[in-house]
Structure 1
Amino acid sequence: MKELRLQEIGVLFYRIFLAFVFYQVARLLFWFFNKNLIRIDSVSDYFTIAYHGTAFDTTAIFYVNSLFILLSLLPLVINTKKYYQKFLFWLYFITNGIAYGMNFGDFVYYKFSQARLTMAAMHVAQHEKNIAKVFLVSVVEHPFVILWFILLMILWIFLYKKVKVTERKPMKKWVYFVSSVISLCVVAALVVGGIRGDFKHSTRPINLVDANRHVKNPLQANVVLNSVFSFFRTMNTNNFQEVHFVDEKFIEQNIKPYKLYKREGVEPKPNVVIFILESFSKEYSGAFNKNTKIKDFVSYTPFFDSLATQSLIATNAFANGRQSIHGMSSILAGIPTLKDAFTSSPYSNQKIQSVVSVANDMGYDTSFFHGAPNGSMGFMGFGNILGFKHYYGKTEYNNDADFDGIWGIWDEPFFQYFAKTLNIKKSPFMATMFSVSSHHPFKVPEKYAGKFKKGPLEIHEPVGYTDYALKQFFETAKKMPWYQNTIFVMVADHTNQIAYPEYEKAMNRFAVPILFYSPNPKYDLKGEISTPTQQMDIYPTLADLMGYNKKIRSWGRSLVSDKKEDHLIVNSSGVEQFIIGDFIYLFDGKNFTGIYKLNDLGYENNLLGKINTQEIKLGELKAKAWYQDYMNRVINRKLN
């Protein structure tokens, strides 16, 4: 019986079983740390989610342990010797320790990203030189996460050592080798099936979208998943696939990918200044929450609120992506992020029509400002694709005394640099400023300690600081000759920490403010837009205001046009989310997974299969048509 290696196989199964146990513990802790963001109504609901999560754990565990399993079963004769078992011990815990730590990182960063770890995070990180600093700050700020990780790893090691392989020498080597090969083949088949998530040859391997099949609310899919699975499954993936749902005539009539706005008499041409404000969620501003009826609401943006009273504001606006670079592509070029980010795809390096190219075509000076080290966030590379003529970063600012130590130059001095640099430019100019200070680890300059309102969230104080920096910018700018004929746009790149239950709702995770202001009354930028709007509407609105009387490629709409244009809002939380008319549609690229009334922002009542009106049918066709047009234009390089 020694030759059959039954004891070794039993110990191997025990060791792999331990991984399953600890992944379930990590799942529970992930939900515990984020329970205010992911609602689970009962214990039975949680256990159902955890049960379905086992399939995703299986894939992750077999990915990580495939080499360990192979080396445990190879017929090497020395497998049971102490030194070999010690080698397997270190292999097991180094690989599993690193992978297990990915889950713990999401305990903290899910609050910011609203999604499990994917390769998109690596695409962002590759542009940053401060990752070590950010990691160390996170460790200091969240000691209990690190403590949990250490305690669980100690327990895991203890349990691993409780069951050992006894050293033994095979007497009949041919039986040992034959039984080993058979065992290896059987286990290999199990591992392959586990990694695929199914043993049926005809079934595709499970992916992130499949987690939505097992939940009542799409947000719960993040509990079904684990971070290792989502990371590995998004490595070298390409969800950009051409589809054909409708004919081109339907797209032309209902999606209208090309817009034309005829505005006469726009002379002199207006300067355009766009502020993309880091993490400046709608939730933090009083002017954008007058109608939300949140009890005891507190605003952290006094200047922004006062400016809103003199501006055209969109109070029901949504971001088209989750990360800063996604905000840049959505705001400036009208290109949203779906399951895969356009900006990190093989298709991003193509000619793209945008507010930048429109401005260049009209003879504008175009500039991009970002106080971080040049190249951070991928902005410099994407800015070059869009065609910015000038880039101003930490290098051009050239004064590290104003460096915050992690992300870049503090907003107040960099905004002043922005104003003064614009003052030496020849009009008309189009300039974009991407702020940095309202960013984790949420600090303000020491000289302003205690100046800004602190709320229940860490981000509230730095949002107040950025708001103050905006005020100081306008105090400087309004004394300059270019100010009077300038259109200012302010918008958040994405949302961040959440204090109020209203903003825990799935669609409100994308709720951002959009503001258009000009001191020049001829642009008539006053009032409130309460219909659903999005970041992608900014580019066509500016093209319209600038008097660009040529066709533009745009999935958004001008918010100041007299034309009646239907809204079609799109973003992604693992499945594509569309607001069309009075309904929200969830679409995975092939099928609809949910349909909700527009006021059901938390996705409580799925109407899929319950109603089938003409409005719903047309909404489904429009969602599919938009998706088809998006894929066609991105893949076939038709974004100009």
Structure 2
Amino acid sequence: MKEFRAKEVLALIYRLLLAYFFYQIARFLFWYFNKDVITLDGITDYLKLAYYGTAFDTTAILYVNALFIFLSLVPVVVNTKAGYQKMLFWLYFITNGIAYAMNFGDFIYFKFSQARLTSAVLDVVKHEDNLGSVGLESVYQHPFVIIWFVVLMALWVFLYKRIKVAPKPPKRMVPYFVWSIVTLCVTAVLVVGGIRGDFKHSTRPINLVDANRHIKNPVQANIVLNSTFSFFRTINTNGFKLVHFVDEDYINKNIHPYKHYEREVPNPRPNIVIFIVESFGREYSGTFNEGKNINGYESYTPFVDSLAKQSLYFTNAYANGRQSIHAMSSILAGIPSLVDAFTSSPYSNQKIQSIVSVCNDLGYDTSFYHGAPNGSMGFLGFGNILGFKHYFGKTEYNNDKDFDGIWAIWDEPFLQYFAKNVGKTQPFLATVFTASSHHPFKIPEEYNGKFKKGHIPMHKPIQYMDYSLKRFFETAKKQPWYNNTIFVITGDHTNQIYYKEFEKQMNRFALPLIFFSPNPKYRLSGKRTDLAQQTDIYPTLADLIGYNKSVRSWGRSLVSDKSEHPIIVNSDGIQEQFMIGDYIYRFDGKEVTGVYHINDLGLENNLMKTLRSEDVEKGKMMCKAWYQDYMNRVINKKLN
């Protein structure tokens, strides 16, 4: 048995389980010190949150103990000797002690920050020269926090030493090395899965937003989280910095962060259905490319093309982000993602005004539908932040026969489920995020041969999506809510490109945008060629349903009679991009680095050094003012 190292493996498991045990104690103490600001319904409520917190504890514990795990299992023969075990002891408690202490700081400061510790603290402390005195004052004011930490660490050391590894070197070296390598490989897989938070292909590594999947109100997410996790997960994700380029009067006069629309809407107010279509680039739809003179162009969305002709549609609309979760914040809350995504930032867990909160204020029933495993892509967590009353995912669909095997329920059956399940309470706002038009670009077997092959793998699934939408509307027309509903259709981001026109830098964000209603009183018809973006959807809908109060928005209502000049914003992950007036500006967070004519969508001719005009200089100032307002509102929690 020495060669199989069973006692060493069991000792390692025991030592890791101790970390889980003490993280749960820290979670309870965190709640105890902050129970006046984090309300729970009872002990059952707490236990549920503590249970869900285990996933976040796993990520934190494995981050901190990765080296310890490796050194515990690596076959160096001397692993069981006293000196080696002593080295492991000190490594374990130095790393875990530092990480564990992060949670204790939040016992005190959560009341002030209203958030768990994140890497944003590094930007704060580097500008402070009084950290020593602040720390001493904190200890003086809250001595029991230090006492708890010392007592618990002492108990942790005591329990660690209860299980010892006897110094018994292996006698048969080949089995020893073979078994050790196998154990290391299996452990590596488990560690990677644990750090990601899931082994499923359809999910990205969990972050702070995912804690909101399991709570009744956003503040409870802080019980699910632990401070070690929130710190590590936000390292290198915080490019958010307060800046000061202009005064507030300039922002109010030129950026107009608050919009106010007056519209009389008779009862019953219209229902709203928002389709966020996976990877739905403008390239795929013929109606949105008429007059573009694209050689050999073919459309792959016959239904969307026909529906657009009966709708108000925009042929010059753009995404405000690069990923699916970016679209959710842009479309529903009017918050674009810059170089650093808002939804994965330390500031995402705050109260946010959105079309969801607006509809909640007006008595709407609000729901979000996504056929992937619940919580995939962070939608459930961010949906809870926004205030959706209901979430319907793969779990609620409850029929894995329609699962595509990788991402989600196939679009057609899920949209049928959506059409029949929604609208039981009116008025309602329902958002559905489709999934099938995505890598690996498959369609259900029964539809093989139904759609034209196309030129790239994306062309078949986009046709399947279009067919699924057609089937949805066939079913929706039979529902009692249909005739008083406004439908919005757009994409989350673009995907595979075939035509050269869409390889241009700005066209990599080009999306279709449709507002449709079978009810003519909403006057949603006609083609528009002016600039539009995802962040315009929220204020447009707030206007259409008669929300006659101030709306915090960087977008604009696309149906208002007011004259509002669009500011289109997105980022390629390196710099921000602004489309203002006749020019496109590249901005690095400090200065405008490029100026291009609005028709130069490939950003090929930088006019920065040759063009000096009043419009260009005003555009540069507008970029800075917009960026300043964005950072101020995100960082200082002014998104409500």
Which residue is 2:575 aligned to? 575
* CA deviation vs aligned residue, 1:409-441 (integer Å, no higher than 9, x gap): 000000000011114x11100000000000100
Name the residue aligned to 1:540.
539
For the residues of structure 2 that align with 1:398 and 1:342, how far apart are their CA atoms? Answer: 32
> In the alignment, does 2:393 pair up with 1:393?
yes
State the partner residue of 2:247.
Answer: 247
Structure 1 residue 268: deviation in Å? 1.5
Displacement of 1:291 after TM fit? 2.1
Question: Would you say 1:131 and 2:130 are equivalent positions?
Answer: no
Which residue type is aligned with residue 569 of structure 2?
V
CA distance in 1, matches of 2:425, 2:233: 49
Q: CA deviation at 1:538?
A: 0.3
Q: Aligned with 1:346: secondary structure?
A: coil
Distance 2:629 2:311 in 1: 34
1:236 Cα deviation from its structure 2 partner: 2.8
Any idea what the Cα deviations from partners look like across 1:51-73, whole Å, max 9, x if unmatched?
xxxxxxxxxxxxxxxxxxxxxxx
Q: Cα distance 1:551–1:331, how it changes in 2: closer, same or farther (>3 A)?
A: same
Q: Which residue of 2 aligns with 1:616?
A: 616
Aligned to 2:558: 559
Provide the residue aligned with 2:78 in structure 1: none
Tell me how far 1:292 sits from its aligned partner: 1.3
Which whole-Å CA distance do the structure 1 matches of 2:339 and 2:450 have between them?
41
Distance 2:266 2:356 in 1: 18
CA contact (8 A) 1:587 1:593 kept: yes
Mind listing any 5+ residue stretches in structure 2 that lack a counterpart?
1-180, 182-191, 205-231
Alignment of 1:335-484 (within 5 A): 335-423=335-423, 425-484=424-483
Runs of 4+ in 1 over 2 A off after TM superposition: 125-134, 232-237
Deviation at 1:237, TM superposition (A): 4.0
Cα pair distance change 1:132/1:331, threshold 3 Å: closer
Checking the alignment, whether the CA contact within 8 Å between 2:202 and 2:406 is kept in structure 1 is no
- Quick one: distance in 2 between partners of 1:589 and 1:415? 41
1:502-525 superposed Cα distances (whole Å, 9 cap, x missing partner): 000000000000000000000000
Any residues of structure 2 matched to 1:87-98 within 5 Å, and which?
none
Q: Check the 8 A contact 1:319/1:534 in 2, yes or no.
A: yes
Counterpart contact for 1:278–1:493, Cα < 8 Å: yes
Structure 1 residue ranges without an equivalent (≥5):
1-93, 95-121, 135-231
How large is the RMSD of aligned CA atoms in angstroms?
2.3
Output one character per residue of 1:378-427: Cα deviation in whole Å (capped at 9) or x when no partner: 0000000000000000000000010000001000000000011114x111
How many residues were matched structurally?
Answer: 424
> Shift of the alpha carbon at 1:130?
2.5
In the TM superposition, 1:314-333 aligns within 5 A as: 314-333=314-333
- State the secondary structure of the residue aligned to 2:404: coil
Distance in 2 of aligned mates of 1:351 and 1:457: 42
Asked if 2 retains the 8 angstrom alpha-carbon contact of 1:127 and 1:376, the reply is no
Distance 1:297 1:591, change over 3 A: same
State the alpha-carbon separation in 2 of the partners of residues 436 and 266 from structure 1: 35
CA shift digits 1:328-349 (9 cap, x unpaired): 1000000001111000011000
Does the Cα contact within 8 Å between 1:368 and 1:391 map onto a contact in 2? yes
- Secondary structure at the aligned position of 1:618 is classed as helix
Classify 1:530/1:133 alpha carbon distance in 2 versus 1 (closer, same or farther; 3 Å): closer
Residues of 2 paired with 1:291 and 1:349: CA distance? 44
Does the CA contact (< 8 Å) of 1:323 and 1:494 recur in 2?
A: yes
Going from structure 1 to structure 2, the CA distance change for 1:234 and 1:351 (only over 3 Å counts) comes to: closer
Is the Cα contact below 8 Å between 1:356 and 1:387 reproduced in 2?
Answer: yes
Distance 1:378 1:483, change over 3 A: same
In the superposition, the TM-score normalised over structure 1's length comes to 0.64
Structure 1: distance between partners of 2:283 and 2:465: 15
Q: TM-score under structure 2 normalisation? A: 0.64
Distance 1:377 1:310 in 2: 33
The C-alpha deviation readout for 1:264-318, integer Å capped at 9, x for no partner, is: 1332100000000000110000010002110111000000000000000010000
Aligned counterparts of 1:132 and 1:552: Cα–Cα separation in 2: 34
Superposed displacement of residue 529, structure 1: 1.4
Report the equivalent of 2:589.
589
Map 1:9-158 → 2, pairs under 5 A: 126=196, 129-131=199-201
Amino acid in the other structure paired with 2:200 = N
Which residue of structure 2 aligns with residue 487 of structure 1? Answer: 486
3-state SS of the aligned residue for 2:457? coil
The one-letter code of the counterpart of 1:254 is N
2: CA distance, partners of 1:262 / 1:478: 30
Query: What is the alpha-carbon distance in structure 2 between the residues aligned to residue 304 and residue 282 of structure 1?
Result: 11
Amino acid aligned to 2:511: V
1:496 aligns to what SS in structure 2?
A: coil
How far is 1:610 from its partner?
A: 1.1
Contact 1:127 1:378 (8 Å CA) reproduced:
no
Q: Which amino acid aligns with 2:335?
A: I
Inter-partner Cα distance in structure 2 for 1:306 and 1:297: 17
The Cα of 1:131 is off from its aligned counterpart by 2.5
Deviation for aligned residue 1:128: 5.8
Offset, 1:133: 11
Does structure 2 retain, via aligned residues, the 8 Å contact 1:128–1:377?
Answer: no
CA distance in 2, matches of 1:604, 1:434: 35
Paired with 2:238 and 2:528, the residues of 1 have a C-alpha distance of: 37
Alignment partners' CA distance in 2, 1:355 and 1:326: 16
Whole-angstrom distance in 1 between the partners of 2:203 and 2:516:
37
Question: Do the aligned partners of 1:266 and 1:546 also contact (CA within 8 Å) in 2?
Answer: no
Asked whether the equivalents of residues 541 and 560 of structure 1 are also in contact (C-alpha less than 8 Å), the reply is: yes
Aligned residue for 2:269, secondary structure, equals coil
Contact 1:133–1:406, Cα closer than 8 Å, also in 2: no
In structure 1, the partner of 2:311 is 311
Taking the TM superposition and a 5 Å limit, the aligned residue runs for 1:258-273 are 258-273=258-273
1:288 match: secondary structure: helix
Which residue pairs with 1:531 in the alignment?
A: 530
Structure 1 128/421 Cα, relative in aligned 2: closer, same or farther at 3 Å? farther
For 1:83, the equivalent position in structure 2 comes to none
Asked whether the equivalents of residues 454 and 460 of structure 1 are also in contact (C-alpha less than 8 Å), the reply is yes
C-alpha deviations, 1:511-559, integer Å up to 9, x for none?
0000000000000000111011100000000000000000010000000
Task: Give, in whole Å, the separation in 2 of the partners of 1:234 and 1:398.
Answer: 34
Contact 1:316–1:531 at 8 Å: present in 2 too? yes
1:513 aligns with 2:512: yes
Correspondence for 1:296: 296
For the Cα contact (< 8 Å) 2:320–2:571, is it kept in 1?
yes
Q: How does 1:171-186 map to 2 (within 5 A)?
A: none
Partner of 2:599: 599
- Using the TM superposition, give the Cα deviation of residue 601 of structure 1 relative to its aligned residue in structure 2, in angstroms: 0.4
> What SS class does the counterpart of residue 585 from structure 2 fall into?
strand
1:632 is matched with which residue? 632
The change in CA–CA distance for 1:127 and 1:497 in structure 2 (over 3 A counts) is: farther
Which amino acid counterpart does residue 242 of structure 1 have in structure 2? L
Q: Given residue 547 of structure 2, which amino acid in structure 1 is its aligned partner? A: Y
